[in-house]
């Protein structure tokens, strides 16, 4: 897999036939090891281990429904009263973060109306705070620590 611009952690890899799996601590199961999943697992561990995010308030692969259309957020952080507070979208390290990525996460945010949006390909991480009053994104220099949200 790829070397990322994220701290390493104790990775649990398993083999199932000819497929490699990686353990997802939030879903508490092994999932297919794809480049995007590699980024997700590193980023989730970064948030928990280095930024103080409670694992119990994070969820992976959160499904949203709009009429007959089903969308899936890569990760969502909830606040203490279980309202969505942050959406995180992951891309493979080889995928350049572009406006298209923000369009995707913005579509999810039309439903959830969170305070923060993050996109990461494991190499580059872009975080913004929503300013609903002025209808704009405020890009942040770093991912905020949980206590500063």
Helix and strand element counts for the chain (H, E): 2, 9
Our CA angle for 23, 12, 55, nearest 5°, is 50
| pLDDT mean over 72-97 | 95
* Residue 69: per-residue pLDDT: 74
User: Which domains, from first to last, does the chain contain?
Assistant: 13-141 (3.90.1570.30)
Predicted model pTM? 0.94
Share above pLDDT 90 across residues of the chain, in percent, rounded to a whole number: 80
DSSP secondary structure, 83-127, as one string: -EEEEEEE--TTSPP-HHHHHHHHHHHHHH--SEEEEE-SS-EEE
- pLDDT tens, position by position, 2-53: 899 999 999 999 999 999 999 999 999 999 999 999 999 999 999 999 999 9
* Residue 110: per-residue pLDDT: 86
- Indicate if the pLDDT at residue 92 is higher than 70: yes
**Contact at 8 Å (CB) between 115 and 132?**
no
pLDDT band at residue 66 using 50, 70 and 90 as cut-offs: low
Q: What's the chain's length in residues? A: 149
* Residue 1: per-residue pLDDT: 79
């Amino acid at each position: 897999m790829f070397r990322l611009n994220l701290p390493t952690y104790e990775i649990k890899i398993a083999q199932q036939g000819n497929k490699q799996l990686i353990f997802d601590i939030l879903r508490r199961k092994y999932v297919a090891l794809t480049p995007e999943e590699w980024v997700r697992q590193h980023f989730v561990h970064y948030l928990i281990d280095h930024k103080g995010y409670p694992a119990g308030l994070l969820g992976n692969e959160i499904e949203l429904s709009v009429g007959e259309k089903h969308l899936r957020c890569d990760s969502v952080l909830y606040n203490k009263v279980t309202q969505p507070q942050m959406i995180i979208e992951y891309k493979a390290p080889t995928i350049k973060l572009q406006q298209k990525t923000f369009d995707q996460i913005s579509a999810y945010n039309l439903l959830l109306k969170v305070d923060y949006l993050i996109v990461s390909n494991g190499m580059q991480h872009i975080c913004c705070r929503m300013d609903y009053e002025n209808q704009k994104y405020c890009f942040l220099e770093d991912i905020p620590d949980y206590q500063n949200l």
